[in-house]
Chains A and B, each alone.
Chain A
Amino acid sequence: MINIQDIRDTARDMLAKGEVRAVIGYRRGTRGMLAEPAFITSPEQADDLVWDPTCFHNLSLYLVEDRKFLAHLNKSSDAPIAVIAKGCDARSIVVLLQEHYFKREDVYIIGVSCEGTGVVDERKLASHLNGFQASNAVFDGDDFVFTTAQGEKRLPAREVMADRCLECRNPFPKENNVVFGEDKTGRELEAPFAALARFEAQGTGERWDFWSHHFDRCIRCFACRSVCPMCYCDECVVDSITFPVTPATTAEEKANRIRWIDRSATRSENITYLMTRAMHLAGRCTDCGECERACPVNVPIRLLNNKMEREAREKFGFEPGASIGGPSLVASFLDSDPGDFIR
């Protein structure tokens, strides 16, 4: 059981001593029970920090944002920034470190272990609350306890947990400076990649029916890209921001510029976008599930990333976010890589 007061004390202490610039954590949000990301910069604010089943955000995203902001100001980091990281978030940070996005000494990882449970899936929860909104959520052993207008409601965590947490193999943040909670590695409530295996049992036709339906529904709001700590490219392949249009640019030049993917939200373009994103995340995605959560039209983006993760694991023995010093998936190879599909 994690005592939030310990995390608050640690944060307050570090800020008071000036060891860190800020602590990125969670605080009570304005929308019902949901926690929201918080940027704590003074010791007095440390008491705002919370830790509950709605802390699903992957806060490593804000480390990326912070680095981009510093780069914009042409400044370098004068003190590390502390961040609260769950198992999956800590792996995201490891991938960012592996890619030299920032230095290890620039970040202070406050690990929190997702002990017997994970985080809640709002969509699953909605079907259990009979139309009521929960105003508070707390961990209690293997259950979540929600406060609604009807009173307290206790639900087994298994029923309302995010899919990724059910399948989580590493709920413990291995890379950390300080860690709270017990290591419950190996608690796998469902087999890893269980949802993926269920989906893959279908034939080519059914798979296409499923995906064409979802690809049609994507509205290209790019919420998945915005929420992803790995989508940090300054220029994304879908928007040609470096194509300068001046009064002297001719119509022919505009027409002939390279456009890999059109911005229109049509099926073919959505496929190209989502598939390209899955490829770019191969061996980097740590299955934090934020893209799927952020998606306003519920496209099961996690399945695509999961597929890449499983391929990497089974065929290449590659585990994203396992070590800082290791090579990346597509920039390394083994003699034993499968080649039997090649004629």
Chain B
Amino acid sequence: MSEQQAYEPKVVAFLCKWCSSAGSDLAGVSRIQYPANATPITIPCTGAMSPMYILSAFNKGADGVLVSGCHIGDCHYIEGNYLARRKMHLTMELLKFIGVEPDRFRMSWVSAAEGAKFAQVVTDFINDLEPLGPQDKLKKVVSS
């Protein structure tokens, strides 16, 4: 490769099956343009998010992690996102505590009708991640 490629942040997006996945789908079928840096992983509910998933994504080289689910009160499992809110808050605080940039982790509520919002969330996230550069703090170093 002759030219240096521009830095493209890699984002792992954990999307809940009932809202945000459908929201991202709507963004697609509505042909809304947004950065293609986010790799979606569908989870049954944000309440099923383990902090382990976030740490593991960073460990395997993600530059940012997005967790998105149903709005408060709209959870398919009634209270999953309430539990997620608490757990993700703790995870985020712990990441900040050890000195990981706060912008590397983001959480959002995106309903199935909010395709435009999903595109906006991803665009904002990528814009915030670009100045930070590659994430190498938590990334596994594979010796050659």
Contacts and interface: CB of A to CB of B under 8 A. Distances in A.
- Do A and B belong to a common assembly? yes
A87 B93 CA distance: 28
Given A207-B98, A212-B137, A279 B90 contact: yes
Nearest to A237: B52
A268 interface: yes
A66 B98 CA distance: 36
Interface in B73-87: 79, 82-83, 85-87
Interface in B6-61: 51-52, 55-56, 59
B101 A337 contact: no
Contacts of A272: 55-56, 59, 138
Chain B: interface size category? 35 or more
Nearest to B102: A204
Contact of B140 (A262, A330, A332): A262
Interface string A154-187: 0000000000000000000000000000000000
A266 B101 contact: no
Nearest to B92: A341
Nearest to B89: A338
B96 to A, nearest CB: 8
A339 interface: yes
A308 B137 contact: no
A276 B90 CA distance: 11
Interface string B123-142: 01000000000000111110
Contacts of A275: 51, 55, 94-95, 98
A261 B60 CA distance: 10
Interface in A304-343: 304, 307-308, 311-312, 315-316, 329-333, 337-339, 341-343
A209 interface: yes
Main secondary structure of the interface of B (DSSP, over half): helix
A311 B137 CA distance: 23
Contacts of B140: 262, 266, 268-269
A271 interface: yes
Contact of B138 (A271, A316, A329, A338): A271
Given A279-B90, A342-B107, A343-B106, A207 B85 contact: no
Interface string A187-208: 0000000000000100011111
A200 B83 contact: no
Nearest to B53: A260
A243 B21 CA distance: 32
B112 interface: no
Nearest to A340: B89
How many chain A residues sit at the interface, stated as a range, is 35 or more
Given A307-B93, A311-B90, A342 B99 contact: no
Contact of A278 (B85, B94, B106): B94
A279 B56 contact: no
Nearest to A211: B98
A279 B51 contact: yes
Interface string A112-151: 0000000000000000000000000000000000000000
A304 B82 CA distance: 24
A84 interface: no
A333 B82 contact: yes
Contacts of A338: 85, 89
Contact of B139 (A200, A210, A268, A330): A268
Given A331-B83, A342-B109, A268 B90 contact: no
Contacts of B83: 330-331, 333
Given A268-B140, A279-B91, A339-B85, A208 B55 contact: no
A312 to B, nearest CB: 8
A282 interface: yes
A267 interface: yes
Nearest to A308: B90
28 contacts: A200-B97, A207-B98, A207-B99, A209-B99, A211-B99, A260-B56, A261-B59, A267-B141, A268-B139, A269-B59, A271-B59, A271-B138, A272-B56, A272-B138, A275-B55, A276-B55, A279-B91, A282-B90, A307-B93, A308-B94, A311-B89, A330-B83, A337-B82, A337-B85, A337-B86, A341-B89, A341-B92, A342-B108
List the 4 closest A-B pairs by CB distance, nearest first: A208-B99, A207-B99, A333-B82, A343-B108
Given A272-B56, A279-B91, 11 more contacts: A207-B98, A211-B98, A266-B141, A268-B139, A268-B140, A271-B55, A271-B98, A279-B51, A307-B93, A332-B86, A342-B107
